[in-house]
Homo-oligomer: A and B are copies of this chain.
Amino acid sequence: MYIPTLDDMLAAHERIKPYIHRTPVLTSSFLDDLTGAKLFFKCENFQKAGAFKVRGASNAVFGLADDKLARGVATHSSGNHALSLSYAAGRRGIPCTVVMPRTAPQAKKDAVIGYGGRIVECEPSTSSREATFAEVVGESGAEFVHPYNDPRVIAGQGTCSRELIEQVEGLDAVVAPIGGGGMISGTCLTLSNLAPEVKIYAAEPTRADDAYRSFKAGYIIADDAPDTVADGLKVPLKELTWHFVSRHVSDIFTASDPEIVDAMKLIWKRMKIVIEPSSALPLAVILKNPQTFAGKRVGIIITGGNVDLDSLP
Residues of B within 8 A of A275 (CB): 272
Partner of A274, one of B26, B46, B50, B268: B268
Q: What is the total number of copies of this protein in its complex?
A: 2
A272 touches B309 (CB 8 A): no
Q: Which residue of B lies closest to A265 (CB)?
A: B309
Give the shortest distance, in Å, between A41 (CB) and chain B (any CB).
Answer: 12
Asked whether, in the complex, the Cβ of B268 is within 8 Å of the Cβ of A309, the reply is yes
> How far, in whole Å, are A274 and B307 apart by their CA atoms in the complex?
13
**Contact (Cβ within 8 A) B272 A305:** yes
Question: Are B272 and A50 neighbours in the complex by a CB distance under 8 Å?
Answer: yes
A24: Cβ under 8 A from any B Cβ: yes
**The residue from B50, B274, B312 contacting A273, defined by CB atoms under 8 A apart:** B274
Q: Chain B nearest CB: distance from A70 CB in Å?
A: 28
Q: Is the CB of B272 within 8 A of A46?
A: yes
A159 within 8 A of B: no
**CB-defined contacts of A265 to chain B, threshold 8 Å:** 309
Question: How many residues belonging to A are interface residues under a CB distance threshold of 8 Å?
Answer: 16
Closest Cβ–Cβ distance, residue A21 to chain B (whole Å): 10
Q: How far is the CA of A298 from the CA of B159 in the complex (A)?
A: 33
By beta carbon, the residue of chain B nearest A302 is: B272
A29 to chain B, nearest CB (A): 9
A58 within 8 A of B: no
Residues in B whose Cβ lies below 8 Å from that of A50: 272
| Assembly CA distance A312 to B312 (angstroms) | 10
Docked complex: A82-124 residues within 8 A CB-CB of B = none
Q: Which 8 A-B pairs have the closest CB atoms?
A: A272-B305, A272-B274, A45-B272, A268-B274, A46-B272, A273-B273, A265-B309, A268-B309
Question: In the assembled complex, how far is the CB of residue A46 from the closest CB belonging to chain B, in whole angstroms?
Answer: 6
Distance to closest chain B CB from A249 (angstroms) = 28
Question: Which chain A residues numbered 34 to 89 have a C-beta less than 8 Å away from chain B?
Answer: 45-46, 50
CA distance A46 to B267 in the complex (A): 12
Cβ of A309: which chain B residues have Cβ within 8 Å of it?
265, 268-269, 312
Q: Are A272 and B273 in contact (CB under 8 A)?
A: yes
Q: Of the candidates B24, B45, B269, B274, which one forms a contact with A24 in the assembled complex, judged by CB atoms under 8 Å apart? A: B24
Which residues from B are CB-within-8-Å of A274?
A: 268-269, 272-274
A255 to chain B, nearest CB (A): 19
20 CB < 8 A contacts A-B: A24-B24, A26-B46, A45-B272, A46-B271, A46-B272, A50-B272, A265-B309, A268-B274, A268-B309, A269-B274, A269-B309, A272-B273, A272-B274, A272-B275, A272-B305, A273-B273, A273-B274, A274-B274, A309-B312, A312-B312
Digit string of A249-293 for contact with B (CB within 8 Å is 1, else 0)? 000000000000000010011011111000000000000000000
Q: Which residue of B lies closest to A46 (CB)?
A: B272
0 or 1 for each of A9-31: is its CB under 8 Å from B? (1 = yes)? 00000000000000010100000
Contact with B along A296-313 (1 / 0, CB 8 A): 000000000100010010
